[in-house]
Amino acid sequence: MIQLVFIQKGQAVTDSLTVAEAFGKEHRRVMQDIRELPCSDDFRLHHFVQSDYTNGQGRPTPKYLMTEQGFTMLVMGYTGPKAMEFKERYITEFHRMREKIQTTAVDTSQLSPILQLLIQQEQQQQAIMQRQDATDQRVAVIQETILQRDDDWRDKLNGMLNGAARRSGGVFRDLRKRSYEMLESRAKCDLNRRLRNLHDRLRESGATKTKISETNRLDVIEADPKLKEIYTTVVKELSIGTLT
């Protein structure tokens, strides 16, 4: 499960990459939605901040950081059961992060200048550690999604597809492609888009090029229990359909 909200400069925020991942949208589309929001310049200035991440070509690529209010404005138009589920999760996470920030707030206005300086330095150090912790957590979630593979499940499905290809005189690669197309049709999903989003998340988290290149559609499918269930059914149907 991805971390939806994180703390930056003492404020609970999320970013456009995380929103794209959560709502199953292309990152460029989320960026476009933000740019086209019919909000005032003052609202945009206070609730959306453009930042950068490194893309697959090693070039800095824009993304947006956004506050809770900015997020709320952005996702008003996102509909559907899954969209509602993630809206609720985001609301819960923003609330949790606000409470976390409030419990650590300290009034330093009555302290001596030296103590204020020491506290400020400590807070800056804590902010750095919090950002690192948030990054580590996001990396851990992504690594868990990719590294904890169900090899038995993959071997079983590959075996069924290989058997079906032999019986039908076809090619395994073509049958695999057909299985993905059937999954996308039934689950109303775009595997390529989900894979690109996952690659972006991995790059932002500092994953190696080897790890990114090894990530494939099966990783996307296995990370979503619903897709995994539907895909298993699809492969079984293809296998049974070639039996004589």
Q: What is the pLDDT of residue 244?
A: 52
Cα 57 from Cα 24, distance rounded (Å): 23
Q: What is the pLDDT of residue 167?
A: 83
Q: What is the pLDDT of residue 202?
A: 80
Q: What is the pLDDT of residue 15?
A: 93
Q: Which amino acid is at 107?
A: D
**Residue pLDDT tens, the chain, 244 long:** 567 888 887 788 899 999 998 888 999 999 999 999 988 888 888 899 999 888 778 888 899 999 888 898 898 888 877 778 888 888 888 888 877 776 655 555 655 566 566 667 776 777 777 666 665 555 554 554 454 567 888 899 989 998 888 888 888 889 999 999 999 999 999 999 999 988 887 887 777 888 888 889 998 898 888 999 999 999 999 888 765 5
Q: What is the pLDDT of residue 233?
A: 94
Q: Which amino acid is at 244?
A: T
Cα 236 from Cα 218, distance rounded (Å): 16
CB proximity list for 198: less than 8 A, separation 6 or greater: 21, 142, 215, 219, 220, 223
Q: Comparing C-alpha atoms, which of 102, 100, 68, 101 is closest to residue 87?
A: 68
Report the 10 Å Cβ neighbour count for 17: 23
**SS3 state at 52:** strand
Q: What is the pLDDT of residue 63?
A: 94
Q: What is the pLDDT of residue 242?
A: 63
Secondary element (H or E) of residue 203: helix 191-204
Cα 121 from Cα 108, distance rounded (Å): 13
Count helices and strands (H / E) in the chain. 12, 4
Q: What is the pLDDT of residue 97?
A: 81
**Domain ranges within the chain, ordered by starting residue:** 6-105, 149-241
